[in-house]
């Protein structure tokens, strides 16, 4: 075999970030700081499914060192990575749909103050029936997770056939019919989610985030914040772990920019 005449194609080249990765010099989103930087935290729902009857943020707003407090009323515009599913809110509006769903956010001078502020936010819930199994999802009398009223909680139903199914069955040595189910999973990257937002004196937003989809995130920021796209810059910092788990715009990214 003759040696390739090319300097790149067909050659084993080191990753551009290999040295920084192995020596620990690489800087992830959570490593970054800016002068006068505030710290943001989100208050998570303690219910899997519940109406939000009231949110009182007055004590958090009065706490020394707190610079901003947000709820769903401050960011009512929905977003989503797909055009057909623009149904996500930065903070829950009217009700929560899973344990951990953000219901409020704060920005404070340091982490301790931000976390103390979350403790001072009073959220009142009215619990609703949860839907956590397939049998429950097919019940006709459960509150709809999305929408109003009662009915089946079926997100999508599809029947797929490829080729001549009847001919395939006729020629098969064995036919097996069963119901198979798979519980959803999520990725547990060693690097957690983090975002750093800043505004310049020219009114332009720069968001640095541990994201795998900077362009989708840019589009979500434009929509929810109602800002011209040319005034928004998204920088995808080195991702320490994603595996597809950071291929969505997330609430904390938009919340950081709004806060």
pLDDT single digits (tens) 219-252: 999 999 999 999 999 999 999 989 999 999 999 9
- Concatenated DSSP letters for 185-229? -----SSPP-EEEEE-TTS-EEEEES-S-HHHHHHHHHHHHT--G
pLDDT tens-digit series, residues 83-117:
888 999 999 999 999 999 999 999 999 999 999 99
Q: Over 80: is that where the pLDDT of 4 sits?
A: no
How far lies 39's CA from each of 32, 67, 137, 256, in Å? Answer: 12, 10, 39, 9
Mean pLDDT to the nearest integer, 48-68: 97
**Cα 111 to the chain's mean position, in Å?**
21
Residue 14 confidence class, pLDDT cut points 50, 70, 90: confident
Asked if residues 221 and 205 have their Cβ atoms less than 8 Å apart, the reply is yes
Predicted local confidence at residue 185, as pLDDT:
81
Indicate the SS3 state at residue 179.
Answer: coil
Bridge-partner residues for 44, per DSSP?
Answer: 102
Tokens of 98: 């899973």
Per-residue pLDDT tens digits for 128-175: 988 888 889 999 988 898 888 999 998 888 889 899 999 999 999 999
Find the mean pLDDT for residues 204-215: 98
Query: Who's near 246: CB < 8 A, 6+ residues apart?
Result: 189, 193, 210, 211, 212, 213, 239
> What is the mean predicted confidence (pLDDT) over 47-74?
98
Query: Which runs of E-coded beta strand occur in the chain?
Result: 39-44, 50-56, 66-71, 95-96, 102-108, 122-127, 142-143, 150-151, 195-199, 205-209, 232-236
- Give the mean pLDDT of the chain: 94
Question: Rounded to whole angstroms, how far apart are CA atoms 57 and 73?
Answer: 12
Distance CA 136, CA 116 (A): 38
Bridge-partner residues for 104, per DSSP?
43, 71
Contact between residue 58 and residue 135 where contact means Cβ atoms under 8 Å apart? no
Query: Which is higher by pLDDT, 126 or 184?
Result: 126
Per-residue confidence (pLDDT) for residue 116, from 0 to 100: 98
- The pLDDT-based confidence of 120 (bands split at 50, 70, 90) is very high
Distance CA 14, CA 130 (A): 50
Identify the pLDDT of residue 163: 94
If phi > 0 it is left, if psi is from -120 to 50 it is alpha, else beta; for residue 65 that is left
> What is the pLDDT, as a whole number, of residue 93?
96
232-236 vs 205-209, strand pairing mode: parallel
Looking at residues 47-60, what average pLDDT do you find? 97
> Is beta strand 102-108 parallel, antiparallel or unpaired with respect to 95-96?
unpaired
- Statement: residue 1 has pLDDT above 60: no
Span between the terminal Cα atoms of the chain, in Å: 60
pLDDT at 183 (0 to 100) = 77
- State the pLDDT at residue 188: 84
């Amino acid at each position: 075999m003759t040696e390739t005449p090319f300097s790149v194609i067909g050659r084993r080249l080191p990753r551009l970030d290999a040295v920084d990765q192995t020596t620990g010099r690489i800087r992830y989103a959570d490593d970054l700081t800016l002068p006068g930087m505030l710290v943001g935290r989100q208050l998570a729902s303690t219910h899997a499914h519940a109406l939000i009857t009231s949110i009182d943020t007055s004590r958090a707003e009065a706490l020394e060192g707190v610079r901003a407090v947000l709820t769903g009323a401050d960011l009512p515009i929905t977003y989503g990575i797909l055009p057909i599913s623009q149904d996500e809110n930065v903070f829950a509006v009217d009700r929560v749909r899973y344990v951990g769903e953000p219901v409020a956010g704060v920005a404070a001078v340091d982490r301790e103050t931000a976390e103390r502020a979350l403790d001072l936010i009073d959220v009142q819930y009215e619990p609703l029936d949860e839907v956590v199994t397939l049998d429950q999802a097919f019940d006709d009398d459960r509150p709809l997770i999305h929408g109003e009223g009662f009915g089946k909680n079926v997100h999508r139903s599809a029947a797929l056939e490829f080729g001549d199914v009847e001919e395939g069955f006729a020629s098969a040595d064995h036919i097996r019919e069963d119901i198979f189910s798979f519980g959803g999973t999520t990725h547990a990257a060693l690097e957690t989610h983090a975002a750093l937002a800043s505004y310049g004196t020219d009114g332009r937003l720069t968001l640095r985030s541990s994201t795998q989809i900077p362009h989708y995130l840019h589009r979500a920021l434009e929509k929810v914040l109602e800002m011209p796209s040319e005034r928004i810059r998204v920088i995808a910092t080195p991702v320490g772990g994603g595996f597809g788990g950071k291929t969505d715009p997330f609430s904390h990214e938009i919340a950081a920019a709004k806060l």
